[in-house]
Amino acid sequence: MLRPTTPPGRWSILALAVFALLLATFALTVAAGQRGGEEFFDNLWLTVPFLGAYLAAVAAFSLAATAMIG
């Protein structure tokens, strides 16, 4: 099994876990009945986990790329 040996590689795994957690939070919030409005920021209960998941995914990708290059 491949394991990251550099600090950016380890951080990328953590960011990936945060991504999965936030995406699951978003899905559970939608399943609980929350719905969006006209604009993206109309329902912060949906917006915050979704934006957090997006940022965590970008961070995971960037850190993994840094770990592979460096």
pTM for the model stands at 0.89
Q: What pLDDT does 70 receive?
A: 78
- Whole-number Cα distances in Å, 6 to 9, 30, 32, 59, 65: 5, 37, 39, 15, 12
User: Which tokens is 23 given?
Assistant: 């995406």
Spell out the per-residue pLDDT of the chain, length 70, in tens: 788 999 999 999 999 999 999 999 999 999 999 998 899 999 999 999 999 999 999 999 999 999 999 7
Note the pLDDT tens digit of each residue in 25-41: 999 999 999 998 899 99
CA atoms within 13 A on the CB side of 58: 6
Give the model's pLDDT for residue 1. Answer: 73
- What single string gives the DSSP state of each residue in 39-55? SGGG-HHHHHHHHHHHH
